[in-house]
Structure 1
Amino acid sequence: MAKKDYSQLADTIVKNVGGQGNIKSLIHCISRLRFYLKDEQKANDDVLKNTPGVIDVIHASGQYQVVIGTEVTHVYDAVMKILGPDFADDSGDSTQEKATTAADGQQKGNIVSRAFANLIGFITGSMSPVIGVIAASGIIKGLLSLLTMPQLGELLKPTSTVYLTVNAMADSAFYFLPVLVGFAAAKKLNSDPIVAAVIGGVLAYPQIVDWGKGFKTMFSIGGFHFQFLNYTYSIFPMILAAWLAKLLGDWLNDHLPSYLQMIFTPLITILVVAAITLVVTGPIIQGIANGLADLINWLVKASGWVGGLVIGGFYQVLVIFGLHWGVVPLVAQQISGSGQSALNAIISTTMVSQGAAVLAVALKSKKDDRKTLGIAAAISAFCGVTEPAIYGINLRFRRVFISGLMGSAVGGLITGLMHGSMYGFTGSLIGFSSFFNIKNPGDLTSFYAFLLSSLAALLVSFLVTWFWGYNDQMEIGTKVAKKQRPGSAQKA
């Protein structure tokens, strides 16, 4: 098969976001190009929305988001070829200006809203590059649990060389997560990713990890003991460390002679930021993050069906605005702290339900274009990426999206009633292996919860869409209007 050319699509996108001169910076997640523009009013939403290869355009989280779908990486590469290799260093803006989400021509708006938008954008840029590898690692760990189940005759011994070797392949992404997140966060901040990765390496260094597991005391002041903590699987401490490294690195480059910068900027940055993270910010953030993650886990389990119903019914609404990226680190924190996430088990059903809704459209419709798009979007949703389904069809026929929410509410309710949890990161149907208890392979409670909740979500969403949510006589929407971020000016 000939390699697909994305250059024309990339050229159209660049022109209609206001041209290269209007672009501050660009990142991408699993399905979207996320632009930071100088003036969003220069972008031509209507042209982009009707461009083949573009699913939708969204103003959210202080970003101008162009929804592409599963081919986003190829389109991103094509866009970056147009912008040129010097784009990241030659935008004419400071990094702080790049990171801000307020366009030059827009009103300043509420400080809290802008700060929240900045935070979501930073988390998105730090987490989206590593989601794929930790999702894949979660699937492998789940499959290992499946192979060690007594019900299957324990096909693989947990002490065998094969198990330990494959487990190392799967666990490395989680164990060295601070390194990966640090590198990605530094790239987002346009700072030195190697320095940030080294700081992440300090947090994941075997000796530090061993001391952290035993809460070894570093030193004491007035009876207060400063202890080492285990930062493998952690996210939030490294995100802050990357930001501190950026601030300190920039300051040192401004104040040190050029002939000293190559050696002393990374030397001082690594020593100072790593020390601050180990002694001050790391323990504080890790304590808050662990507490919040445990609280959410407890609330979901304690509330049972109530938490499942509410979260299941409304989670995909967050996806519309890209705000679900604020939840991703909490899920990772839950899994790292307790080895499981009740929240992620509910989120998994919401992916299944939106996939079932768009599948119903594909099978019911007599229109070839909707059949093709619907089947592709359903496969994507069952693999854990719902944006193609949501923006391609479900939101454009609002009843379809609502039908999906109904199914996910039912699925979440069942998950809550059965107190289901996930032991890995990957959701939807492809994430079935993440419901096997890694520590106790014989415990199938969560797997049964996954089967029943996914089946219920699939059936409810499919049937409601088939009989109420969609027919070919419905007029397709002109793309659902999205709310602009708080504080931004409304377009004329």
Structure 2
Amino acid sequence: MAKKDYSGLAKKIISDVGGEKNIDNLIHCITRLRFYLKDESVAKDEDLKKTTGVIDVIKASGQYQVVIGNEVGNVYDAVVQELGPQFAAKIDDGATTTASATDKQKGNPVTRGINNLIGVITGSMTPVIGVIAAAGIIKGILALLTLPQLGSLLDVKSTLYLTISAIADSAFFFLPILVGFSAARYMKGDPVITAVIGGVLTYPQIITWGTNFKTMFSIGGFDFQFLNYTYSIFPMILAAWFAKEIGGWLKKNLPSYLQMIFTPLITVLVVSVITLVLTGPIIQGAANGIADFINWLVHVSGWLGGLVIGGFYQILVIFGLHWGVVPLVAQQISGSGESALNAIISGTMVSQGAAVLAVAIKSKKENLKGLGFAAAISAFCGVTEPAIYGVNLRYRRVFISGLIGSAVSGFITGLMHGNMFGFTGSLIGFSSFFDPKNPAQLTSFYAFLLSSLAAIIVSFLVTWFWGYNDKMVMSEKVEKKENPSKKNAVKA
């Protein structure tokens, strides 16, 4: 098949955001191009929204977000190629340029800090999400194959099981290396040096000591202990920042003939020690505490927590704020092996997919049918942005219908105290509801089945009878928009 040409779309996007001179920096997530513009008022919002290949434009988190969909990676590459090597150099300026434009526009230091933090989390986690999701699916399928109810098709002590389990576990076990590499690339540090620091945290002897909380040394009766950093995220993001700052300082102050050896030597040694002794225990302890507290709160609140979270979570997606939740879910799974929060979130994806599916089936408009079916498939595979921006928010009742369905879904999940044991949600993530440590315990899987069924039925019926009919008209900003079903979801 011929490769699709994105150069025309890239040129249009660059022009409508104000041209190369108005672009301070650019990253992308699963579905959006995230621009840091020098002056957002220059951008032509309405023209962009009417462009084929663009689902919507959102201004949030200090970013000018152009929602593309599943093809965002291809569009991002085309934009960078159009901007040329000069812009690639500008991107390499890193975290300092990332926030410069928004810093000038927003004087509130709290807002600035939150925006920058979300940007760092987004840039660091996005490249890792896919492999974590894939690993979670594999682990779930393994748990499924060991179920006594299915005749224990796979023995947990067999070579085949242990080998495949190792393949799946590697993404979580070496997560500090992956996150460190990704964070360094985003911050424009040295990915290899940062990955080595992640390797220090996952070194077998360090893990053994961390598992046993071995004491490094004591000061004034206070013991500094090793911790187990496999599956961890936040300590490495901070370590990546330290490595960038220290590495940058060394490159400026060390003679050039010493830099090749002593820059990595000093950076790895200093940052590793700081992380192991100070920042790692503090951040890991705080992150585990927050993750466990949220998990506990969801469990304790039961149906009420499920109802509230289920009813409102997808609103976070509209503004791209759900990226602040992603690391917490990962931290829950890495710490306790389960996430009640993610179980509720999973149903919200199914609900938005069912709502847009109802539109696709009911509508007689061919372009809307094409977009609706494509968006439904995407949502059932765990990416709801094409459904939300392509159809559901265009007809506000459709989005609300999805929220009603996800509230019911969350109610059931909370009532049954459902858990997820993997990262991947929606229908494609069914295997994540099998507990690898106790495959015979199917409560969470039954919760998944009932909540997903409720999400589909409620969202579909509410949309069908109240949320949509062909007499409804999209808002003016979308009316002229051509069928965006070809513009599937992106990476971020």
- 1:25, 1:88 within 8 Å by CA — same for their partners in 2? no
1:344 is matched with which residue? 342
> 391, 397, 400: which is aligned to 1:399?
397
- 1:335, 1:341 within 8 Å by CA — same for their partners in 2? yes
Counterparts of residues 171-182 of structure 1 (less than 5 Å): 171-182=169-180
- State the shift of 1:356 in Å: 0.4
2:482 is matched with which residue? none
- Cα distance in 2 between the residues matched to 1:96 and 1:7: 27
1:246 is matched with which residue? 244
- Cα distance in 2 between the residues matched to 1:406 and 1:109: 38
**Stretch moving more, 172-181 or 42-51:** 42-51
- State the shift of 1:85 in Å: 3.8
**Stretch moving more, 193-202 or 405-414:** 193-202
- State the shift of 1:86 in Å: 4.7
1:416 is matched with which residue? 414
**Stretch moving more, 276-285 or 37-46:** 37-46
Q: Does 1:161 align with 2:159?
A: yes
Deviations 1:268-323 (A, max 9, x none): 11110111000000000000010111100100000100100010000000000000
- 1:10, 1:78 within 8 Å by CA — same for their partners in 2? yes
2:486 is matched with which residue? none
- Cα distance in 2 between the residues matched to 1:281 and 1:119: 17
- Cα distance in 1 between the residues matched to 2:208 and 2:6: 48
- Cα distance in 2 between the residues matched to 1:6 and 1:442: 49
- 2:304, 2:411 within 8 Å by CA — same for their partners in 1? yes
SS of alignment partner, residue 103 of structure 1: helix
1:443 is matched with which residue? 441
Counterparts of residues 109-258 of structure 1 (less than 5 Å): 109-258=107-256
- State the shift of 1:83 in Å: 2.2
- Cα distance in 1 between the residues matched to 2:106 and 2:153: 61
- Cα distance in 1 between the residues matched to 2:417 and 2:477: 37
> 291, 297, 300: which is aligned to 1:299?
297
- Cα distance in 2 between the residues matched to 1:232 and 1:414: 33
2:351 is matched with which residue? 353
- State the shift of 1:109 in Å: 2.9
- Cα distance in 2 between the residues matched to 1:48 and 1:439: 49
**Stretch moving more, 268-277 or 72-81:** 72-81
- Cα distance in 1 between the residues matched to 2:282 and 2:180: 18
> 473, 482, 491: which is aligned to 2:471?
473
Per the normalisation by structure 2, the TM-score is 0.95
SS of alignment partner, residue 3 of structure 2: coil
1:65 is matched with which residue? 65
Counterparts of residues 370-409 of structure 1 (less than 5 Å): 370-409=368-407
- Cα distance in 2 between the residues matched to 1:156 and 1:94: 51
Per the normalisation by structure 1, the TM-score is 0.95
Deviations 1:315-348 (A, max 9, x none): 0000000000000000000001110000000000
**Stretch moving more, 342-351 or 262-271:** 262-271
SS of alignment partner, residue 443 of structure 1: coil
Aligned partner of 2:348: which letter? T
Deviations 1:104-146 (A, max 9, x none): 7x53331101110110011000001110110011000000000
Aligned partner of 2:81: which letter? K
Higher RCO (CA < 8 A, seq sep 6+): 2
SS of alignment partner, residue 345 of structure 1: helix
- 2:380, 2:428 within 8 Å by CA — same for their partners in 1? yes
2:7 is matched with which residue? 7
SS of alignment partner, residue 33 of structure 2: strand
Aligned partner of 1:358: which letter? V
- State the shift of 1:7 in Å: 1.2
Aligned partner of 1:139: which letter? I
Q: Does 1:363 align with 2:361?
A: yes
- Aligned CA distance change for structure 1 residues 345 and 471 (closer, same or farther; 3 Å): same
- Cα distance in 1 between the residues matched to 2:213 and 2:305: 34
Aligned partner of 1:97: which letter? T
- 2:310, 2:409 within 8 Å by CA — same for their partners in 1? yes
- 1:374, 1:389 within 8 Å by CA — same for their partners in 2? yes
- Cα distance in 2 between the residues matched to 1:472 and 1:109: 46
Q: Does 1:18 align with 2:18?
A: yes
Structure 2 unaligned regions, length at least 5: 479-492
Aligned partner of 1:202: which letter? V
SS of alignment partner, residue 254 of structure 1: helix
- Aligned CA distance change for structure 1 residues 479 and 444 (closer, same or farther; 3 Å): farther
SS of alignment partner, residue 424 of structure 2: coil
Aligned partner of 1:112: which letter? V
1:331 is matched with which residue? 329
2:487 is matched with which residue? none
- State the shift of 1:372 in Å: 0.2
SS of alignment partner, residue 230 of structure 1: coil
1:489 is matched with which residue? none
1:95 is matched with which residue? 94
RMSD: 1.4
- State the shift of 1:439 in Å: 0.1
Aligned partner of 1:144: which letter? L
Aligned partner of 1:69: which letter? G
Aligned partner of 1:100: which letter? A
- Cα distance in 1 between the residues matched to 2:352 and 2:100: 30
Deviations 1:73-117 (A, max 9, x none): 1111111211224533236x953432316437x533311011101
- Cα distance in 2 between the residues matched to 1:359 and 1:373: 10
- Cα distance in 2 between the residues matched to 1:354 and 1:462: 9
- Cα distance in 2 between the residues matched to 1:238 and 1:413: 35
- State the shift of 1:479 in Å: 5.3
- 2:25, 2:90 within 8 Å by CA — same for their partners in 1? no
List structure 1 segments (4+ residues) > 6 angstroms apart after TM superposition. Answer: none
SS of alignment partner, residue 422 of structure 1: coil
SS of alignment partner, residue 311 of structure 2: helix
- Cα distance in 2 between the residues matched to 1:21 and 1:188: 21
Aligned partner of 1:47: which letter? D
Counterparts of residues 446-461 of structure 1 (less than 5 Å): 446-461=444-459
Query: How many aligned positions are there?
Result: 478
1:486 is matched with which residue? none
- Cα distance in 1 between the residues matched to 2:438 and 2:105: 55
Structure 1 unaligned regions, length at least 5: 481-492
Deviations 1:17-67 (A, max 9, x none): 111222222111111111112221221111111111110111111111111
- Cα distance in 2 between the residues matched to 1:327 and 1:53: 28
- Aligned-residue sequence identity (percent) comes to 75
**Stretch moving more, 254-263 or 81-90:** 81-90
Aligned partner of 1:161: which letter? T
